[in-house]
A and B are shown apart, each in its own frame.
Chain A
Amino acid sequence: MNRNFSDRKYIIIILILTVGFIFTLRLFFIQVLDQSYLLSAESNATRHNTIYPHRGLIYDRNGELLVYDEAAYDLMVIPGQVEEMDTLEFCQLLNISDSTFKARLRKAKNWSTYKPSTFVAQITKEEFGFIEEKLYKYPGFFVQSRSLRKYPQPIAAHLLGYIGEVNNREIEKDAYYRSGDYIGKSGLERFYEKELRGKKGVKIVMVDVHNREQGSYRDGKYDTVAVPGETLYLSLDAGLQAYGEQLMQNKIGSVVAIDPRTGEIVAFITSPTYDPNLLVGRIRSENYSNLSQDSLKPLLNRAIMGTYPPGSTFKMVNALVGLQEGVLHDYTAYSCYGPASTPISCTHDHISPLELQEAIEQSCNPYFWNVFRSIISNPKYPTVVDAFNVWRDDVTSIGFGKKFNTDIPFEQSGNIPTAELYDKIYTADHWNALTIRSLAIGQGEILVTPLQLANLSVVIANKGFYYPPHLVSAIGTPDAKIEAFNERIKTNFDEKYFDVVQQAMLEVFEGEHGTARWAKLEGVDICGKTGTVQNPHGKDHSMFIAFAPKDDPKIALSVIVENSGYGSTWAAPIASLLIEKYLNDTISRPQVEKRILDGNLIPK
């Protein structure tokens, strides 16, 4: 076995020579023979032009266009290609100062010498024509087409949301975004970002030393087309929304109206509001800072971020808990001693003793103190805490104290106090129904959002269930309904307990002593309940929930007008007008409408 394998060195040397030969041959082909590579040698470089897709359109429930895209242009710069130039003329052309010019160029250079950065963003079509003519003089600068959001009607700003430039955190989170891209920052623009944004395309072009495009690179082999964003079909009724915003002008508060049959939000008003066109394009940052400094906080979406004690509207909830737990019946009667009642006095003048339906209709405080006491002191449960937890579980089953988590960003959960909280405040075993009696009339530690209040109205209208309240009914085509929103959610309450509550709410309009009798609408059975919410910071909040028609509810809503006094004075007529508008599409009571439109309730 001592054969010498030294002749194998030739095989190995031949192997090396063969590979070297193949490489040389290949290099000869691509470097000397193939002219297509030489072609790109003549043009200096290629440039990746991003093709921005149109962002998805947004329609209301009747096919009315709410948001679309309009063409705009970004002036881009590749600092490595910028040459000696007439800066003065260039600055005049763009209407910027010399120092701005230098600062922006430095910033772009710091990011990348060879990759494009945005130099001036969102130039309108008109300005663009002017700039384009002269651009050839300035190598390193080019234009990229973009688009601006446009809103044909100045409504629904908060729920639509706005888009803005991505920040570093958003770029890190999702590799789709590049510096200078836009992303939904709030509202539906934020929640449906993935659907609305579409897919960017890229067109690779060859450019010569003067940065002029020389045509597509490799016949567009590496180009991709932009895919436009998907269309959103909202449940919103633009007409109702616009009318509601009009009624709410010069008032602080919100209106949420829901179709109880589907959970679709048909009006979503917060006031004061702003024109969504203000937060678009180059004027955005200035307007944004103005709006954010406004003392009335127009950027705040009160419908989901404002939290209020529910006041008397919560009496129906306590009534339902009492009925469900068997400690209250239609015929249960309690005495009321008016202002002399303890521990909670009554502000209304009515007969005594009275039964449940009358108590709701008259909003009798002592009655509901008795109801609440019987719930919390229910002998069925060994301790107060147990009874309290049953109450809490019933209340939260309506949607209070938690977020619906559908498609509305930045929703607040409000607050339904827990036994632990009271243990902390009063120490364990040192509290009972009397200690927490404010809850009987919807005051105290309890906080709800207008959206949750509207949902209470839905639950009563539906006699015990609701659908998750949401804004978008379909994506892509009007028929592509979102399945997740179709799930019927049962509350803890049996259907039979709602009859007395509904009847009482009808009497609020129809009854001789009903608190909203003067806001009644001929021909439509509206069920409602006023609330007058004590507020340590000023006048009471006027609150109202309602649904109609009673036997076939098509709309359920909540209205809150901050610091305006009784629920019956402002919130009830606004609710009544909106119901009329939605159901009949006309207004038969111009004098009521005029009073609301003229009302200026913004605290001086």
Chain B
Amino acid sequence: MRQKGIAQNIDWITILLYLALVLIGWVNIYAAVYDDQHRSIFDLSQNYGRQLIFIASSILLGAVILIIDAKFFSTFAWVIYLAVLVMLLGVVFLGKEIAGARSWYQIGPFSLQPSEFAKFATALALAKYLSRIDLDISKLSTRITAAVIIFTPSVIILLQPDTGSAMVFAALVLVLFREGLSGSLLILGFVVALLFILALLVNKFILIGFLASNALLVIWLFKELRKKWIWVAGILLVAAAYVFSVDYAFENVLEAHQKTRINVLLGKESDPHGAGYNINQSKIAIGSGGFAGKGFLKGTQTKFKFVPEQSTDFIFCTVGEEWGFVGSTLVIVLMMGLMIRIIILAERQRSKFSRIYGYAVASILFFHFAVNIGMTIGLFPVIGIPLPLISYGGSSLWGFTILLFIFIRQDSVKLELL
């Protein structure tokens, strides 16, 4: 049983989901870029021609990972993590400046985005650290170390600056939750995020007044809290300070275009030709697809370039327009299938490392999935991160392939290890 070849031990369902999504991605990139002048699928001047090369090299990359000894990744987790950190730092200084950000290495005709590789490296490092036998996640020092592992790459990416990619790392908090991080911390995180949005939407003083009246209500309702009123007041004070600092951070940390996007989403600002226009065009493209879609290459909204970043961040528009509700739902189901399959596999792992890594993979995919599709259908601000395996881009596809195939490789030896 144990000596069976790798082909019998790898999870083919995951591989098939992977291949299906990559193929759907390519078909839609072709449709998004297609025009009469460039019909050949091998046209390397076009995104779909290049994506074909990325797909072939990704499959090769996946195969190589499946051949490498599974222990390699846990053994060298820290080395890989540090190497990626160096690459991330390097790009801040040596990177090619595109649209004000240095996120890309330019090597001859190729460009490489190191932040795409930071994801699997960070997942490896986090899994390596959390899989220590004597680890106690309820300890503050453990949490701080885990946070440092997660957010160091994130902070470096912010320097490039590439806010979207930097935010992805927050998804790894889900891994900590699975490993026993108190749920109330997650709820706290949710409340913090909610207050953030409210702080931007509502007048600061009205918001604080509302919080204060809530506090009074709580004290009135729960008599046992009355003795602890000083705690309630303290929390209220912290919340008020937070509301004010959010306002400050919004004005001073975020860049103008990001502020605009958030404001447009919140309905505070109407910018019909800037951010609002993009979201609206994206919604129209998807909405005009109807139930069954307009058909392959029949999309007009996306074809006439009304939607920005057609083949990268907004690829879901083409899916929605040409394949309609049926096609969009299929993509969503496939993506969910992939994530849930990974979680099921992760739970089957005997090695703690493999399980944690699996959850990291699922969390990262989930974040991309939620934010990317959320933004194209107008539920989320426009944050430039790709739809995993579907969006155009070599670095992105390679990054996700490595991320996923390391897990498949770990899973394939789950019976060997113990």
Same assembly? yes
6 closest A-B pairs by CB = A37-B287, A41-B288, A222-B272, A30-B287, A31-B325, A20-B336
1/0 per residue, CB under 8 A from A, across B282-321: the answer is: 0110111111001000001101111000000000000010
The interface stretch among B16-24, B151-159, B175-183, B235-243 is B175-183
For residue B134, give the distance in angstroms from its CB to the closest CB of chain A: 10
A202 interface residue (CB < 8 Å to B): yes
For residue B379, give the distance in angstroms from its CB to the closest CB of chain A: 6
Known: A80-B35, A222-B273, A222-B280. A27 touches B320 (CB 8 A): yes
For residue A184, give the distance in angstroms from its CB to the closest CB of chain B: 25
Known: A12-B174, A32-B325, A46-B306. A23 touches B373 (CB 8 A): yes
Complex alpha-carbon distance, A34 and B377, angstroms: 13
1/0 per residue, CB under 8 A from A, across B131-155: the answer is: 0000010100000000000000000
Contact of A13 among B37, B286, B328, B343 (CB under 8 A): B343
26 contacts between A and B (CB under 8 A): A1-B136, A1-B138, A5-B178, A9-B178, A9-B343, A13-B343, A27-B286, A27-B328, A27-B377, A31-B287, A31-B291, A31-B325, A37-B284, A37-B286, A37-B287, A38-B287, A45-B301, A46-B304, A46-B306, A80-B35, A80-B304, A113-B37, A114-B304, A114-B305, A218-B280, A222-B272
Complex alpha-carbon distance, A221 and B136, angstroms: 57
For residue B195, give the distance in angstroms from its CB to the closest CB of chain A: 21
Extra A-B contacts (12), CB below 8 Å, given A5-B180, A38-B287, A44-B300: A5-B178, A12-B178, A16-B336, A20-B336, A24-B332, A37-B284, A38-B290, A40-B288, A41-B290, A45-B306, A80-B35, A224-B273
Question: Cβ of A40: which chain B residues have Cβ within 8 Å of it?
Answer: 284, 288, 301
For residue A84, give the distance in angstroms from its CB to the closest CB of chain B: 13
A85 interface residue (CB < 8 Å to B): no
Chain B residue nearest to A4 in the complex (CB): B180
A484 interface residue (CB < 8 Å to B): no
Question: Cβ of B370: which chain A residues have Cβ within 8 Å of it?
Answer: 19
Interface of B is mostly: helix
B11 interface residue (CB < 8 Å to A): no
A28 interface residue (CB < 8 Å to B): yes
Complex alpha-carbon distance, A114 and B37, angstroms: 13
A22 interface residue (CB < 8 Å to B): yes
Residues of A participating in the B interface, judged by any CB pair closer than 8 Å: 1, 3, 5-6, 8-9, 11-13, 15-17, 19-20, 22-24, 26-28, 30-32, 34, 36-38, 40-41, 44-46, 80, 113-115, 202, 218, 221-222, 224
B392 interface residue (CB < 8 Å to A): no
Complex alpha-carbon distance, A343 and B280, angstroms: 84
B277 interface residue (CB < 8 Å to A): yes
Contact of B288 among A11, A38, A202, A221 (CB under 8 A): A38
Contact between A20 and B288, CB atoms less than 8 A apart: no
Contact between B273 and A9, CB atoms less than 8 A apart: no
Contact between A16 and B366, CB atoms less than 8 A apart: yes
B369-398 with Cβ < 8 A to chain A: 369-370, 373-374, 377, 379
Contact of A31 among B178, B280, B328, B335 (CB under 8 A): B328
B5-57 with Cβ < 8 A to chain A: 35, 37
Complex alpha-carbon distance, A511 and B370, angstroms: 95
Complex alpha-carbon distance, A115 and B373, angstroms: 27
Complex alpha-carbon distance, A17 and B305, angstroms: 32
Known: A37-B283, A80-B35, A222-B277. A3 touches B340 (CB 8 A): no
Contact of B347 among A6, A26, A32, A37 (CB under 8 A): A6
Contact of A45 among B35, B136, B300 (CB under 8 A): B300
Contact between A32 and B369, CB atoms less than 8 A apart: no
Contact between A16 and B328, CB atoms less than 8 A apart: no
Complex alpha-carbon distance, A21 and B291, angstroms: 17
Contact between A13 and B180, CB atoms less than 8 A apart: no
Known: A26-B379, A27-B286, A222-B272. A16 touches B320 (CB 8 A): no
B362 interface residue (CB < 8 Å to A): yes
Interface centre among B277, B283, B288, B379 (most CB of A within 10 A): B288
Question: Cβ of A13: which chain B residues have Cβ within 8 Å of it?
Answer: 340, 343
Question: Cβ of A38: which chain B residues have Cβ within 8 Å of it?
Answer: 287-288, 290
Question: Cβ of A30: which chain B residues have Cβ within 8 Å of it?
Answer: 283, 286-287, 377
B339 interface residue (CB < 8 Å to A): yes
Complex alpha-carbon distance, A39 and B137, angstroms: 55
B399 interface residue (CB < 8 Å to A): no
Interface centre among A26, A32, A37 (most CB of B within 10 A): A37
Question: Cβ of A16: which chain B residues have Cβ within 8 Å of it?
Answer: 336, 339-340, 343, 362, 366
